[in-house]
Amino acid sequence: MQVLSTRGKMNAIPATQAVLQGIAADGGLFVPETFPEIDLEEMKAYAAHEYDILAARVLQYFFDMDEAALAEITQQAYGTFDDSRVVPIKELSPAEYVMELTHGPTLAFKDMALQVLPRLIRRALDIHKQEENVLILTATSGDTGKAALEGFRDVPRTAIEVFYPADGVATMQKLQMVTQEGGNVAVCGVQGNFDDAQTGVKALFADETLKAFLKKAGYTFSSANSINFGRLIPQVAYYIYAYAKLAADGKIADGEEINFVVPTGNFGNILAGYYAKRMGLPVKKLICASNGNNVLTDFFNKSVYDANRPFHKTMSPSMDILISSNLERLLFEVTGRDDAQVRAWMEALKTSGKYEIPQETQAQLKGTFWADFASEEETAQTIRETFGTHGYLIDPHTAVAKCVEEKYRRETGDDAVCVVVSTANPYKFTQDVLRCISGQDEDDAFRAAQLLAQATGTEIPPQIADLQEKPVLHPDVVGRTELKSAVEVFIERMGE
C-alpha cells in the first residue's frame, strides 16, 4: 500500500519506505491511502489459531511485502513473548474483559509493535536497496525506550539511541534501560520532562548539520516513536484479534458492537483501535482514558486542545504527556483529509500550544470517542478494588483505564461489552502498586517487589528480578541542548 502525509505536501510512497523515514518530509505523519476492509469470518478463523498468523494478515493489508516474509516477522516477534497465546484475554465478568498486551520481553504493550518494527526496517532496507544504515533516535516516557532497545538490539544495519527524561521515569523503567546490553545501543538521560526529551529529539531530526554528519558516517535517521507507521499498524491487529477471539469463543454475537477502553498518552494505541473500526471492526466507542494530564479529556469534551497547563508527574508516567502526536492522524481523518486544516492546527499548536476545532468536528468525534480521566487517588483505589474483587493485579496505567471504564458505565448507562486494554505489568511500577495494595512505602524497588509478591501471591517476572544483578552500562545524563553531541559521540563509537 501507498501512504500519504497528514500535511499533504508530498507524493504517496510505499509503506515500507515510510517505515524507513519515520516522519514525512513535510513534517506530517504517514497515513494509509485507504482503509482496507477486513473479513471478520476470516479473522475469526485466524483467531482460533495463533496470534502471529492474524497479525501477519493485518500487516499484509498495509505493507508491500510478501506473505511469507510477514509471517516470518510476526512469528519471530511474538515468539519472544512469555505466553503462548501472546495476547491473553482475561474475563472479569461477561461484560468486562482485559486484553493483556503485557507479555512481551519488556512487560509493556510497546513490545507488540517494537518487536515487529525492527524486523520491518531490516527488510525495508533490502526492498529499497538503501545503502545507509538506520539510526533510530527515540524519546521515551519510559516504556518505549526499553521496548525499542530490546527490539533493535543487535539487529544488523541498525543502531539506536534512546533519550529518557532524567526525572520522569519509574525506577524499574530506568534500570531496564541503563542496563541494556547490545553492540548497537546507547541510552542517555535528559534533564527535564518527557516533552523536553521529545522536543530535543524532534530538533535532532530537523538538524541539517547532524544529517550531513550521519550521512558521512553511513547512517540515516528513523524513529521508533509511535509516529512511525510501522509502529501503528502492528497495533491494529490486537483490536481485531480481541474481537475475533471473543466472537469465536461465543462471548459476543457476530457483529455485536463492543467498547475498548485505552489508557492513552501519545494517542498511538487508541488510534490503532480507530483504524480497526475504519476497517470494519464492530466498535461502538473508543474510550480515551487519561491521568491527571488530561489534555485529551478536555479536547474531546470542550473542543479545545490546550497544552498550556501544569505538567503532573503521576503513577502512570507513560501517559504523562501534554502533546499527543498521533492525534494529528485522527484530525486528518475527521476533517475528511483536509491537510490545509491539519497544517493550520499543528502550526497553532507549535506557536501557541493550543488550537480549537469546530463544533461539528467535535460532534463527529464524539460519535466514536468518549473521554475522561482518573486522578491519582482514583487510580490507587481502582488497583486496590480490582485486586480485592477479582484477585487480579493491574498496573497504574491499566487502572486508569479501568477507572474510566467505570465512569463511562455510570455516566452513560451503556452496558455493552467493554475490553480494557492492559498496557504494563504491575511489577514495572512496584513501589506505587505496593503502596496502593497494602499502604506500605518502600524505598528499595526490589524489596518492594518482594513485598508485593508476598502481599498478592503473584510472581515477580524474571525480567524485573534479574535487573538487580545487571551492571549499569549507560550512566550519562545530558542537558537539553546537548543531545546532538551525545549522538555524535555514539556514532563515532559505532564506527570504531
Ligand X SMILES: *Cc1c(COP(=O)(O)O)cnc(C)c1O
Minimal distance in Å, beta carbon 323 to ligand X? 11
With the CA atoms of 445, 176, 224 and 338 taken in that order, what torsion angle do they form, in degrees rounded to the nearest 10? 0
Minimal distance in Å, beta carbon 22 to ligand X? 16
What would the grid cell of residue 91 be? 474475563
Task: For ligand X, give the closer residue by CB, 109 or 274.
Answer: 109
Minimal distance in Å, beta carbon 253 to ligand X? 30
Residues whose CB is less than 8 angstroms from the CB of residue 310 and which lie 6 or more positions away in sequence, other chains included = none
Minimal distance in Å, beta carbon 151 to ligand X? 14
Place of cell 500550544: 353
Place of cell 515510510: 18
Minimal distance in Å, beta carbon 299 to ligand X? 13
Spacing of C-alpha 343 from chain mean position: 24
Minimal distance in Å, beta carbon 236 to ligand X? 12
Spacing of C-alpha 219 from chain mean position: 25
Q: Which of 9, 90, 110, 245 is catalytic?
A: 110
Minimal distance in Å, beta carbon 4 to ligand X? 21
Overall size of the chain counted in residues: 496
Task: For ligand X, give the closer residue by CB, 399 or 483.
Answer: 399
First to last CA, the chain: 39
Please indicate whether residue 110 is annotated as part of the active site.
yes
Q: Output helix, strand, coil percentages for the chain, rounded to the nearest 5.
A: 50, 15, 35
Task: For ligand X, give the closer residue by CB, 194 or 219.
Answer: 194
**Burial group, residue 12, by CB count within 10 angstroms (0-12, 13-18, 19+):** middle
Instruction: Give the strand pairing for 89-93 and 96-100.
Output: antiparallel
Tell me the C-alpha distance between 70 and 85, whole Å: 19
What would the grid cell of residue 45 be? 478463523
Minimal distance in Å, beta carbon 331 to ligand X? 15
Scanning 335-375, the segments in alpha helix (DSSP H) are 339-352, 359-368
Helix axes 268-278, 229-248, angle to 10 degrees: 60
What would the grid cell of residue 372 be? 475522561
Task: For ligand X, give the closer residue by CB, 323 or 424.
Answer: 424
* DSSP H or E segment with residue 437: helix 430-438
Tell me the C-alpha distance between 146 and 155, whole Å: 15
Tell me the C-alpha distance between 239 and 273, whole Å: 6
Task: For ligand X, give the closer residue by CB, 327 or 494.
Answer: 327
What would the grid cell of residue 6 be? 497528514
DSSP string covering 325-340: TTHHHHHHHHTTS-HH
Place of cell 469534551: 301
Other CB atoms within a 10 A radius of the CB of residue 279 amount to: 19
Task: For ligand X, give the closer residue by CB, 279 or 424.
Answer: 424
Asked if residues 200 and 480 have their Cβ atoms less than 8 Å apart, the reply is yes
Task: For ligand X, give the closer residue by CB, 222 or 398.
Answer: 398
Task: For ligand X, give the closer residue by CB, 17 or 463.
Answer: 463
Q: Is 225 helix (H, G, I), strand (E, B) or coil?
A: coil
Scanning 256-338, the segments in alpha helix (DSSP H) are 268-278, 295-302, 327-334
Where on the chain is the footprint of ligand X (CB under 6 A)?
108-110, 143, 226, 263-269, 318-319, 397, 423-424
Minimal distance in Å, beta carbon 348 to ligand X? 22
Asked if residues 190 and 197 have their Cβ atoms less than 8 Å apart, the reply is yes
Give catalytic residues, as residue numbers. 110
